[in-house]
Amino acid sequence: MFALIKKIFPRLIRQPDWEVLFQEGALLIDVRKEKDFELGHAPRALNIPMNELETKAEKLKKLNVPVIVVCGSGFKSATANEILKDKGLEKVYNGGMWFNFQQFSK
């Protein structure tokens, strides 16, 4: 069971590490649909819905900063994490639920 969870959430890291990543210029990407994002999101989040992620991956890669991916439950962010890694991004982290990032302001 632990192996399955680790496969689904390969780089889910603990909260203290988020601050370090933000200090390194990390982007917080929320992959929910725009209408869901507008209902509520973390203060520093950028909305790139799942259906746009592959086309915007190259731009994210060129920025050469850590990327933290969030969604409503943690499942889409896990999928998005894999998509971005497959597109060549190296510092990609599954942040799970967007609500966990409410305390991080810009």
pTM for this model (two decimals): 0.83
CATH code, 33: 3.40.250.10
Sign of CA dihedral 104, 87, 53, 51: negative
CB 94 within 8 A of CB 9: yes
Is 106 a domain residue?
Answer: no
pLDDT tens digits, the chain, 106 residues: what are they?
545 555 555 555 555 488 889 999 999 999 999 999 999 999 989 999 999 999 999 999 999 999 999 999 989 999 999 999 999 999 999 998 998 887 775 5
Domain that holds residue 7: 2-101
| E strand spans, 1-106 | 27-30, 45-47, 67-71, 92-97
Predicted local distance difference test score (pLDDT) of residue 69: 96
Is 61 a domain residue?
Answer: yes
